[in-house]
Amino acid sequence: MEVMLWNLENKLDDMLEAFDAGQHDRAKMAAHEMRGLLEDAKVDWARLKAVDEEVYRTVIEPQPEELGGGWRLRLIEEVGSKAYNDYEEASAAAEAWLTNGKNTVTES
């Protein structure tokens, strides 16, 4: 997204420079290219928004002593769960799941 914004800024500068120089055809071409970049940005934004709205949440909670204690990592979306003895380990597994996808943690 950052690259796309940089490209839009460059096209805007090009369009304004061309307009100031009286190069209307060049300004029109830059404006047309900006429109295409904006459409791409809309598509990317919609894609990012859709991913953000998906339920990729984790819950780390104490595991009951009768189950061995420690911490239980729950991966929302019914992907699975696994018990961890250490909160930091469970937190790292949750981060890996969020970053790398659902297949990084297996059920136990």
pLDDT above 80 (res 5): no
Residue pLDDT, tens place only, 58-75: 778 888 888 888 888 877
Cβ contact 73:94 at 8 Å? yes
Task: Report the SS3 class of residue 100.
Answer: helix
Do 43 and 73 lie in one domain? The reply is no
Answer left, alpha or beta for residue 23, where phi above 0 means left and psi between -120 and 50 means alpha.
Answer: beta
Which tops the pLDDT comparison, 23 or 95? 23
Rg (CA), the chain: 24
Average pLDDT of every residue of the chain: 77
> Which of residues 53, 79, 94 is at a domain's end?
53
Do 73 and 98 lie in one domain? The reply is yes
The answer for residues whose C-beta is within 8 angstroms of residue 31's C-beta and 6 or more apart is: 15
Give the confidence band of 53 by pLDDT, cuts at 50, 70, 90.
low
Residue % of the chain over a pLDDT of 70 = 76
Tally of domains within the chain:
2
> Which of residues 32, 53, 74 is at a domain's end?
53
Mean pLDDT confidence for 87-100: 81
- Domain region containing 21: 2-53
